[in-house]
Every structure is written in structure tokens, then in C-alpha cells.
Amino acid sequence: MSSTITQQPESTTQIVRPARSFQGSVTVPGDKSISHRYAMLAGFAEGTSRLANFSTGADPHSTLACMEALGAKVVKGPGTSVEVTGVAGAFQQPKAELDCGNSGSTMRMLAGLIAPHPHTFTMIGDHSLTMRPMERIRKPLAAMGARIDLVDGHAPMTIHGGPLKAIDFETPIPSAQVKTAVLFAGLQAEGTTSLSEAVRTRDHSEHALKAFGATLTRANETLSIAGGQRLKAIDATVPGDISSAAFFLCAALLFPDSNLVLDSVGMNPTRASLLDVITTLGGKIKVLTVEERHGEMIGTIQVNRDEAGLKGAEISGALSAQIIDELPVIAAIAPYTRDGVTIRDAKELRVKESDRIALVAKNLKVMGAEFTEYEDGLAIPGNQQLHGAEIDSGSDHRIAMAFAVAALRASSENIIHGAEAAAISFPEFFPFLNELSKR
């Protein structure tokens, strides 16, 4: 095996039997997106940050391992807490390649954070990660003066670090990861970097930077960050991951008498579009508690299904970008809706951990669904009954979990191949799903 690709875990299967209801209370793991950002900024900052409810997913732990390799000190435990002692703005030359595992978030965002440092960094990942586009990161960082080598636009990525200059950048595609890489580089560049985005993406990086002491400003859709800023350690609790909660929210829609309570879940407005779609589909959402921590909203919500049943939805434009990670599970339950679900403007799904449009289509087909596949989405009619089948996850965590949810309403049991992929973002998923599914 090449030294530039990390080892794949052994494939496992999960059998998911149909359920008659979906009920209970659950606390989902810490938000993956926020955990990545806190880990990176804690590793860069001065002092020791204490992070509670850190994500249990494999991806943010790839970020922690990279921070250790760059000179930060990481102490895990007890439970899901992590302490990170940062390098006070001066990363060291790593002794080996920075292994990002399956995590595009790690590779893309970390590239911006390390590019201003006077070392050579080579970032690698597993086979899936080497297939994902990285030119979108190289272009803005190169415009700032970074020297970055890719292989046909993909990892492994080698960064020849050095001083950067501020730029004015317009994001060509909606991407919070590209935005973050530019902001992290701008934090250390000469001058003030500005960034504008036509479609506003999740703003976890802005909140995290401010929490660690950075100053950045927003005027309409343009963000500005001055270079030369230093960061200080924080104590923070990571909210529960709304993208992980999405699977249980969709499962709750499948049954008339469902009753789901999600404790301490992130309710950031740039991620809350998912809750709007759940409501459109027929979910009744009641906010029981809500508070703000380090700019992030965190709350407890109760979800039931509306008496009118599971309706349908048309998802396109900016909304597709805002809920891009949740689209596979919405597509997986679409056949059970009354009016069907149409998803367009979601071509980005084809360059995630897998071609998610193709895999959703493949698995809907083996479960007996009719649909139309487009280059940028799917049209899935409603009033369909799915049957049991053998599901191919493509080693993609969101595909494995999406079709485990669809299996709850199938006419017979489903076998999920590559179920171990769920550990990328949500290791507890299958035990939690089984506990909440009433049979």
C-alpha cells in the first residue's frame, strides 16, 4: 500500500429490521464542524483550551492528530472532553506526513491555517479523500502567495509555507471549507483579507475565531479579517451535531405516533434550514430550551409527525447548498412521502466522500423505488413501498446511515454493507437507532 493513502477499516454489515414506531430521548455527539474548528484554533492559540462534548467521529480526531504532529499537546478524556495546548502561533515542522484520514474538512481548512508557516507540509488521506477536489483550496491560497502542489487537482497536497498577503476573494462555489481556509490564512497574512459569498454558508468559523479572540467584521455578504492576530485558549462545550440529528429527525417523520426529544443540539441559524425542511415534510418541532454559547445556539427540541402525515418537498438553489450533508437521508425517505421529493442544484453531492447522487439512486433502485436521476439531483415520487435489500454504503457514512433510516419502513429487513463507515461522524449511530426504534 502506498505511503500516501491511509489504511481502510475492515468492512462490516448491519441488519436493520422494520420498526412500528420511533420514540425516545437522545443526545447526539458533539458537532463535527465545530469540533474541527475548535481543535484547529486551540492548536494554533496560546494556552490550554478545554473542549467538552468533542465529536466522537473519526474525522475531528484526524484533526487532533494533525495538531499534535504540528506541535500542539492533546490530552483526551474523561468521556468526550479534550484538552489542547496550542503552539502560540508557531507550528513546527512535522516529522511525517499529516494524515487527514477520510476528512476533507481537515485537509481543506488546515491548509489555510498552516500555509503561512515556514515549513513544508504534506497532507495525505484515505482513498476516498484522494478523489475529492482540492484545487478550490489551492487557488485562493496561491493568490495569497502560497506554493501548493497537488496531483491532478487532488491529494496528496504539499504546502511550501511562507509569508502570505491579504486578498479580496469571491467564493466561486458555496463552501464553508473554502471560506474557512481563506479566513485562517487571512488571520496570519499581511493586510486585511476580505471574502464575499453569493450563498451564505455555515458560519461556525466566524463564531470560533471570535471565541478565540480574533476580530473580524461582516458587511452584507462580505467578511473582513486583519492579519497578524493572536489567539487565546478557551473553555467551550461543543453543541450536539444537527447533521447527525438529521437521521433521527427523518426517522421520526416515518411514523404517526413518533415522539423524539433531542437534547443539547446545535441550532445555528445557518444550519437550521434543515429544521425548516423537516417542518415542510410534516414534522412538528417544539423548542423546549435554547441558549447561546460562544456565538452558537444550543437547545433541546421535541419532534412529532403532523396529523396530515409525511408530505413532500422541492429543494433547490441556496437551500440545497445549506443542507447538502442532509440531502441523502431526505432522499432515502422520499418514497414514503405523499407528494415526493425533488432535489436540484446539488451537484456538489457527486464530489463528497462518494458520488452520493449515484449511490442514493443505486440503493433506492435495489429497494424497489422509482425515481429520475439528474446530474445535479433526483426526483423521487411519493406513495411508494420499499422492500428489503442489500445496501451498498460505498464506505460513505451518510449513505450507510440514510438507508438504515429508510429500512425502518421497508417491508422486510435490510442489510447495510460497509456499516463501519458511520464511525466517520457518528460511531454511536446504530446502537442509538436500535434503541429508539420500537419493534
Active site residues: 325
Beta-bridge partners for 159: 121, 148
Beta-bridge partners for 227: none
DSSP string for 122-172 = EEEB-TTGGGS--HHHHHHHHHTT-EEEEETTEEEEEEE----B--EEE-S
| Angle at 355 (CA atoms; ends 354, 361), nearest 5 degrees | 120
Q: Give all strands of the β-sheet with 168-170 in edge-to-edge order.
A: 168-170, 192-196, 222-226, 216-219
Strands 192-196 and 235-237: unpaired
Is 409 in contact with 364 (CB distance < 8 Å)?
no
Task: Identify which of 353, 334, 354, 352 has the alpha carbon closest to the alpha carbon of residue 343.
Answer: 334
The alpha carbon torsion through 150, 191, 163, 176 (nearest 10 deg) reads -30
Q: How far apart are the first and last CA of the chain?
A: 44
